[in-house]
Amino acid sequence: MPVLLPYPFPGPFDYAVPPTLTLAPGDIVLVPLNRRQEVGVVWDAPSGPAVADAKLKPVSARLDAPPMPAPLRRLVEWIASYTLSPPGAVLAMALRVNALTPPPMAAGWRRVADAPDVRVADAPDIRVADAPDIRVADAPDVRVPHAPAIRLTPQRTRVLATLGDRIIPSADLARLADVGTSVIRGMADKGLIEPAPVPSVPPFGRPDPAFRTPHFSSAQAEIAAALRAKVAAHTFTVTLLDGVTGSGKTEIYLEAVAACLQSGRQTLILLPEIALSAQFLARFERRFGVAPALWHSDLGSRTRRATWRAVAEGAAQVVVGARSALFLPFPDLGLVIVDEEHETAFKQEDGVVYHARDMAVVRARFSDAPAILVSATPSLETLSNVEAGRYAHLRLQTRHAGASMPAIAAIDMRDAPPPRGKFLSPVLVAAIRASFARGEQAMLFLNRRGYAPLTLCRACGHRLACPNCTAWLVEHRARRELSCHHCGHTAPAPTICPVCAAEGTLAPIGPGVERITEEAAELFPDIRRLVMASDTMPGPHAAAEAARAIEAREVDLLIGTQIVAKGWHFPHLTLVGVVDADLGLAGGDLRAAERTVQLLHQVAGRAGRAEAPGEVKLQTFSPEHPVMQALVSGDLAAFYEAEKAARRPGHWPPYGRLAALIVSAEQAEAADRCARALGLAAPAAPGVEVLGPTPAPLAILRGRHRRRLLLKTRRDIAVQPILLAWLARVEVPRGARVDVDVDPVSFL
C-alpha cells in the first residue's frame, strides 16, 4: 500500500498491510522508516512497479485521526506538480503531526495559593522574556508555610510571574517562562506550584445564518442573490466580486457564507494578513452570533489541535485563516472565499513556493465548490480570467449608504518641499492640522518599518550594509539597533563609523515610520499618536486593541506601514497622507505600477468611510506618472487598460507565463558555473524565451550568492514540462542549489 511521508522524497513508499489492519486511502498511519516510526498518509496512486509483499515492511498502526479527505490529497498532488515540489514537502504543510492526536485534557500548573505574589507589570499576557526587568537580585528568601525558606531565583520568579492567576499547560510553561523543565519540577517539589487540569478549549459555536440579516440596497441584494445561487449550485465556479472600498463586499460575501451554512457544508475564508482578522471576527460575530474558527501560524498548540480536529470532524463550519488554512482537512467544503485577492501576501516564498489565491481556486475545484475572489483592485491575472470567460464578474459601483469616495490629490514635493531633514510637506501638515481642528482622525502611511532605511557616514561616505546580504541595514532607533530586513541580522547601532572611525558622523538617510512618528510628535505635540507596523504590533491581539482604540477615538493620528492599508473600517478617519507615494515604483518589476495602484487605492479607501467625506494626499516627486494620474482621477479602468496593453505584446503575465530559476551557492564561482550551465541548456522553441542568467537584485542573501533566470512562455504553453526537461539537462554542482518559482511575484 503506498504511503506518502511528509518529507521531500520523490513519491510514496510501499508498505505491507498486516492482516490486523484494514486501510483506505487517506488513513493516517505510522510506518517504519530508517529504524524510526513516521506518520504518513495512505495514498491512492500506484507507486510504481509492485514490490513483492514479502520484501515490504508492514504498516505499524493506523492513528486515531480523521482520514485526509480526497480533495485535499488531490490538492497536495496538484500543488506538487504545479510548483515542481516533492509531494511529501506539500504533504508536510497539510499534515500537522502535532495536530493529529486529540487535545488531551492536558495537565497544567498553577501557583499555590500562598506562593509569593510576583507579577510582571500587571500584564499576564506578556511573555516574560520581553517584559521589563524584574528585580530579583535582592529577592529575599520567601517563607512559604509548610516549607523551609525557599530561594526565589530569577527563573522561579519568572515562572510565578508567567503563571499569574492562570493555569498553564505543563507542555508550555517552561517555554513561556524561558526556564528548563527541571526548574518547574523543583518548584513543584518545593510546593510553589501545583498541578491542575487545563480548562478545555472553548467549543466551536454554530454560526446562525439568520442571527442578524442585513438590509441590502437593491444593487447589493442582487449580487448577494447571485452568490447564494452559486453556493446552492454545488459545483465549481469562480466569481470575482469587485467593488470600491466600502461598497459592502464583505457584508455581501457573508451572505454566501450564510447560504453555505444553510446547506450544511463548510466555508473557508482566506485573508492576506491575519492581523486583519480582529475587526473581521467581530463583524462575523455580529452577523452570525458566534466567531468563526481562526487558523494561522501563531496559534497555541492546544488551539491548533482543537481547531484541526474540529475542521476534520465538521464541527468548525467556517474557518478564517491565512494561506496555510488551505491545507486544513475539510471533509465537506462548500465555499472558498479569498478576500483582497490581489494581495501579494498570498504568495508563499519559502519552502514550497505557491500562490494561495490560485491554490484556493484549485481547492474549490476538487471540492466541487464555488470560489469567490474579492477585491476593490483585482489583480490583472484575475481580470484576464474574467475577460476570457473563465470567471464570473459581479460589481458594486458605489459606496454603501451614500458615503462618497475620498478626494485624492497629489502633493508635488518639488513645489511644496518639506523643511530640510523633514519629510512632511507643509501642504500635508496643514491638512492634518485642519482635520484635527474638525475633531477628526488622520493617518500617515509609509510602507517602511524602522527609523531610516540607510545609515551613511558623513565623513567617509561609508554605508552600513548587511554582512550577509546585498542590502542596507535599517535603523530601528527605539531598539537602538540596525537590522537587515532580508535575513534578520541585527547589531547594536554603532556610534563611530566602522570604516573611518569618525565619531558622530553617522547619519540616517530617508524615513521609516519611526522617523515620521518623531516628526509628527514635534509638529503636533498634543495629539495622541499610534504606530502600527508589523514589528511593533505582532499578532492579531495587538491589532485588535489598536483597532478598538481608534474606533473609540482614543487616537488622533495613526502612523503605519502596509498593515494599516488593508480592510480596516475606521469611521472617524477622514484624512490619509501617503508619505512616499513613489516608493513602490522604484523597484520597477513587472507589477510595480499595478501593485502601487492597488496598495495606495487600498490605503486611500481607509478615508471617509462614514458620513464625513474623506481626503487623501499623495506626496510624490512625479505627479505626472500614470500611477499618480490614475489614483488622482480615480479612473482605475483606464489604468488597467493601459497596463494590459503594455503587457500583452510581450506575452508578459497574465498574457504569458513566467517561471524563475534562482541559483544560489556560498561561493560566487559555483553560482556562476551553475547559472551558466543552465543558460547554455536553456530551452529553445517558438513561444518560449529565457532571460538571464543575471545576478539577482539581492545578489547575496543570507551569505549565498544568487543568480536568476526567467523562463517566459506563451499562455498556451505550460512551463512545468519545459522546466523538468531543462533541469534534467543540467548537473547542479555541489554546494549550489536551484530553486524554482512558478508564477513569480518577487523578482529580487
Nearest residue to the partner ligand ADP, using Cβ: 248
Residue 247 touches which of ligand ADP, Zn ion, none (Cβ within 5-8 Å per kind): ligand ADP
Q: Is 81 helix (H, G, I), strand (E, B) or coil?
A: helix
Residue 250 touches which of ligand ADP, Zn ion, none (CB < 5 to 8 A by kind)? ligand ADP
Q: Are 618 and 632 in contact (CB under 8 A)?
A: yes
What crossing angle do the helices spanning 626-633 and 636-647 adopt, rounded to 10°?
150
Give residue 103's identity as a one-letter amino acid code. Answer: P
Should residue 577 be labelled a site residue for ligand ADP when binding is judged by CB under 6 A?
A: no
Q: Residues 2, 88, 169, 246: which binds ligand ADP (CB under 6 A)? A: 246
From candidates 162, 220, 447, 574, binder to ligand ADP by CB under 6 A: 220
Toward Zn ion, which CB reaches closer, 422 or 486? 486
Q: Closer CB to Zn ion, residue 468 or residue 629?
A: 468
What minimum distance in Å lies between the beta carbon of 227 and ligand ADP? Answer: 13
Contact region with ligand ADP (CB under 6 A), list: 111-119, 209-217, 348-356, 519-527: 209-217
Q: How far is the CB of 36 from ligand ADP (least distance, A)?
A: 49
H, E, C per residue of 89-157: HHHHHHCCHHHHCCCCCCEEEEECCCCCCCCCCCCCCCCHHHCCCCCCCCCCCECCCCCCCECCCHHHH
- Of 131, 424, 75, 404, nearest in space to 268 by CA: 75
Nearer to ligand ADP, 59 or 564 (CB): 564
Size of the site for ligand ADP (CB under 6 A): 14
CB of 182 to ligand ADP, least distance (A): 52
- CA 9, chain centre distance (Å): 27
Nearer to Zn ion, 306 or 699 (CB): 699
Rounded least distance, CB 486 to Zn ion, Å: 5
Which three-class secondary structure state does DSSP give residue 365? helix
- The x, y and z cell numbers of residue 681, run together, are 541548456
Which residue from 239, 247, 483, 619 is in contact with ligand ADP, where contact means CB under 6 A?
247
* Beta strand 454-457 pairing with 506-509: antiparallel
Q: Which partner, ligand ADP, Zn ion, none, binds residue 735 by CB below 5 to 8 Å per kind?
A: none
β 474-476/481-483 pair status: antiparallel
**Min dist. Cβ of residue 245 to ligand ADP (A):** 5
Question: Is residue 333 within 8 Å of 366, Cβ to Cβ?
Answer: no
Query: What is the closest distance, in whole angstroms, from the C-beta atom of residue 229 to ligand ADP in the complex?
Result: 19
Taking the least distance from each CB to Zn ion, the nearer of 465 and 732 is 465
Q: Which does 246 bind (CB under 5 to 8 A by kind): ligand ADP, Zn ion, none?
A: ligand ADP
Choose the contact partner of 103 out of Zn ion, ligand ADP, none; CB within 5 to 8 A by kind: none
> Which residue in 194, 251, 535, 666 binds ligand ADP (CB under 6 A)?
251
Classify residue 22 as exposed, middle or buried by CB count within 10 Å of its CB (0-12, 13-18, 19+).
exposed
Minimum distance from residue 472 beta carbon to Zn ion (Å): 10
d(CA 179, CA 187): 12
Find the shortest distance in angstroms from Cβ 288 to ligand ADP: 14
CB of 724 to ligand ADP, least distance (A): 41
Residue among 245, 266, 379, 574 that touches ligand ADP (CB under 6 A): 245
Contact range with ligand ADP by CB under 6 A, out of 187-195, 240-248, 435-443, 481-489: 240-248
Cβ 376 to ligand ADP, closest distance in Å?
Answer: 7
* Window contacting ligand ADP (CB under 6 A); options: 226-234, 248-256, 719-727, 731-739: 248-256
Count CB atoms within 10 A of the CB of residue 13: 21
Q: Cell 482614543 belongs to which residue?
A: 554
Q: With respect to Zn ion, which residue has the nearer C-beta, 198 or 471?
A: 471
Binding partner selected for residue 249 from ligand ADP, Zn ion, none, CB under the kind-specific 5 to 8 Å limit: ligand ADP
Instruction: Give the phi and the psi of residue 186 in degrees, each rounded to 5.
Output: -60, -40
CB 220 within 8 A of CB 248: yes
Does residue 158 interact with ligand ADP by CB under 6 A? no
b or e along 580-590 (b: 16 or more beta carbons within 10 Å of the residue's beta carbon)? Answer: bbbbbbeeeeb
| Best CA proximity match to 410, nearest among 614, 637, 573, 616 | 616
Among 86, 116, 164, 214, interactor with ligand ADP by CB under 6 A = 214
CA distance 473 to 486: 9
Three-state SS at 694: strand
Cβ(23)–Cβ(17) under 8 Å? yes
How far is Cα 288 from Cα 318, in angstroms, rounded to an integer? 11
Q: What is the Cα–Cα distance from 671 to 705, expressed in whole angstroms? A: 6
Binding partner at 166 among ligand ADP, Zn ion, none, C-beta below 5 to 8 Å by kind = none
282 near ligand ADP, judged by CB under 6 A:
no
Among 207, 209, 248, 654, binds ligand ADP (CB under 6 A): 248
Span of 176-184, 214-222, 261-269, 623-631 interacting with ligand ADP by CB under 6 A: 214-222
Q: How far is the CB of 671 from Zn ion (least distance, A)?
A: 17
Binding-site string for ligand ADP from residue 522 to residue 561, where x marks contact by CB under 6 A and - marks none = ----------------------------------------
Minimum Å gap between C-beta 255 and ligand ADP is 10
Residue among 62, 249, 305, 595 that touches ligand ADP (CB under 6 A)? 249
CB of 701 to Zn ion, least distance (A): 7
Query: Is residue 225 at the binding interface for ligand ADP, with CB under 6 A as the rule?
Result: no
Q: How far is the CB of 251 from ligand ADP (least distance, A)?
A: 4
469 binds, among ligand ADP, Zn ion, none (CB under 5 to 8 A by kind): Zn ion
HEC letters along 264-333: CCEEEEECCCHHHHHHHHHHHHHHHCCCCEEECCCCCHHHHHHHHHHHHCCCCCEEEECHHHHHCCCCCE
Residues in the chain: 748
In angstroms, give the least distance from the CB of 440 to ligand ADP. Answer: 17
**Considering CB distances under 5 to 8 angstroms, the limit depending on partner class, which of Zn ion, ligand ADP, none binds residue 251?**
ligand ADP
Closest by CA to 292, choosing from 207, 177, 409, 379, is 207
Smallest distance from the beta carbon of 641 to ligand ADP, in angstroms? 23
Check if the beta carbon of residue 680 is closer than 8 Å to that of residue 726.
no
Q: Residues 6 or more apart from 621 whose CB is under 8 A from it?
A: 412, 413, 414, 582
Q: Which residues bind Zn ion (CB under 5 A)?
A: 466, 468-469, 484, 486-487, 489
Task: Tell which positions 377-406 bind ligand ADP, by CB under 6 A.
Answer: 400
Exposed, middle or buried, 517 (CB in 10 Å: 0-12/13-18/19+)? Answer: buried
What are the φ and ψ backbone dihedral angles of 496, each rounded to 5 degrees? -120, 155
Residue 277 engages ligand ADP in binding (rule: CB under 6 A): no
- CA–CA dist 152, 142 (Å, integer): 7
Q: Which stretch binds ligand ADP (CB under 6 A): 24-32, 165-173, 247-255, 433-441?
A: 247-255
Q: Of these, 2, 209, 243, 370, which contacts ligand ADP (CB under 6 A)?
A: 243
Cis ω for the linkage preceding 654 (within 30 of 0): yes
608 binds ligand ADP (CB under 6 A): no
Neighbours of 386 (CB within 10 A): 17
> Which of ligand ADP, Zn ion, none is residue 486 near (CB under 5 to 8 Å by kind)?
Zn ion
User: If contact means CB under 5 to 8 A according to the sort of partner, which of Zn ion, ligand ADP, none does residue 258 touch?
Assistant: none
Q: Applying CB under 6 A, which residues contact ligand ADP? A: 214-216, 220, 243, 245-251, 400, 569
